[in-house]
């Protein structure tokens, strides 16, 4: 536990942590404000589905919209941030220092990621809170009745989804962590993350059906399914959708497996003075 606390202090003081958080918060807030601003223009046009606007700007449905956007933006930014932070453990010689002090390699590897996971939780909570404020502001700009954000019957399930979103976010970012730890390089982690993200988006549209089926169980796809969010009205659920509870178990399996790979790699790496 002390190693994780030390890691939090170490990562929290870096400017990259604050900058990454500010970018995620700004993107989520801007999304809702822009939707509110464009509401009146969209309402005068024919063929525009206004139910999506109300889904984004009115509660309780806005909670799912906020969680979806928070996870999307933090997933991308978090992957890059975690890959950069874990790669710096090698470039800055932090792993070497830990080994020289007699610390267990696998404990250091797991504790370092645990500290990053706690920072991701803080980032998710802040981004979600800002998203709620932005949704309220957006509904006010649009002239919509925002609903009741404090409805206790809604807040309970929302908090459960928030917890699931954190687990999914941690599992997703463990991919960047494992790659950077194995390759001992920030750029390798970032490059793999960006490449994987592009392939996961474009690949399913170009590849055979059996490959598409495999893509559904890879971290980027399965982690979003694990949250169990409802989409905008009129959005038909996928016929082959993965049950959120099953997706959550697979997401946890990815997390454990990727951390095991990172720990094993650090254990077997020759660290010279």
Taking the C-alpha atoms of residue 35 and residue 142, their distance in angstroms, rounded to an integer, is 8
Count of domains forming the chain: 1
Closest C-alpha to 63, from 122, 126, 128: 128
Confidence of residue 124 (pLDDT cuts 50, 70, 90): very high
* 16 or 248, which is more confident: 248
pLDDT of residue 250 exceeding 80, the answer is yes
Sign of CA dihedral 180, 183, 189, 192: negative
pLDDT computed for residue 21 by the predictor: 93
Residue-range definition of the domain harbouring residue 171: 2-268
pLDDT mean across residues, the chain: 83
Top mean-pLDDT range of 55-59, 94-98, 161-165, 213-217: 161-165
Q: Please indicate whether residue 99 or residue 38 has the higher confidence score (pLDDT).
A: 38
Over residues 102-112, mean pLDDT: 82
Residues 6+ apart with CB under 8 A from 187: 87
> What three-state secondary structure class fits 19?
helix
CA distance 41 to 38: 5
What pLDDT shows up at residue 13? 80
In a domain, 66, yes or no: yes
> DSSP alpha helices (H): ranges in the chain?
2-12, 15-43, 50-57, 61-91, 94-100, 105-142, 152-183, 186-206, 209-215, 219-225, 244-268
Q: Does this model's pTM top 0.75? A: yes
Question: How far is it, in rounded angstroms, from Cα 188 to Cα 84?
Answer: 9
Average pLDDT for 166-170? 95
* pLDDT tens-place string over residues 204-244: 667 677 777 777 888 878 888 899 887 776 565 554 568 89
Residue 255 clears pLDDT 60, i.e. is over it: yes
The answer as to whether 256 is a domain residue is yes
Q: Is residue 71 part of a domain?
A: yes
CA max distance for the chain: 69
Any domain includes 273: no
């Amino acid at each position: 536990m002390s190693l994780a606390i030390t890691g939090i202090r170490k990562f929290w003081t870096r400017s990259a942590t604050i900058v990454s958080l500010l970018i995620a918060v700004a993107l989520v807030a801007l999304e809702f404000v822009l939707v509110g601003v464009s509401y009146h223009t969209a309402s005068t046009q024919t063929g525009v589905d206004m139910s999506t606007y109300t889904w984004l700007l009115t509660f309780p449905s806005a909670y799912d919209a906020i969680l979806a956007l928070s996870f999307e933006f933090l997933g991308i930014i978090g992957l890059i941030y975690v890959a950069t932070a874990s790669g710096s453990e090698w470039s800055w010689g932090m792993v070497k220092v830990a080994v020289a002090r007699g610390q267990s390699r696998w404990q250091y590897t797991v504790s370092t990621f645990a500290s990053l996971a706690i920072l991701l939780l803080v980032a998710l909570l802040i981004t979600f809170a800002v998203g709620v404020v932005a949704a309220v502001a957006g509904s006010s700009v649009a002239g919509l009745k925002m609903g009741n954000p404090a409805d206790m019957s809604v807040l309970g399930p929302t908090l459960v989804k928030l917890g699931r979103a954190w687990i999914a976010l941690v599992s997703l970012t463990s991919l960047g962590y494992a790659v950077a730890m194995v390759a001992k390089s920030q750029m390798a982690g970032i490059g793999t993350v960006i490449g994987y993200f592009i392939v996961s988006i474009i690949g399913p549209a170009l590849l055979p059906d059996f490959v598409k089926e495999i893509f559904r169980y890879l971290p980027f796809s399965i982690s979003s399914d694990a949250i169990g969010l409802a989409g905008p009205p009129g959005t038909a659920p996928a016929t082959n959708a993965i049950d959120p509870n099953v997706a959550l178990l697979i997401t946890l399996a990815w997390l454990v497996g990727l951390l095991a790979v990172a720990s094993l790699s650090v254990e077997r790496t020759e660290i010279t003075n």
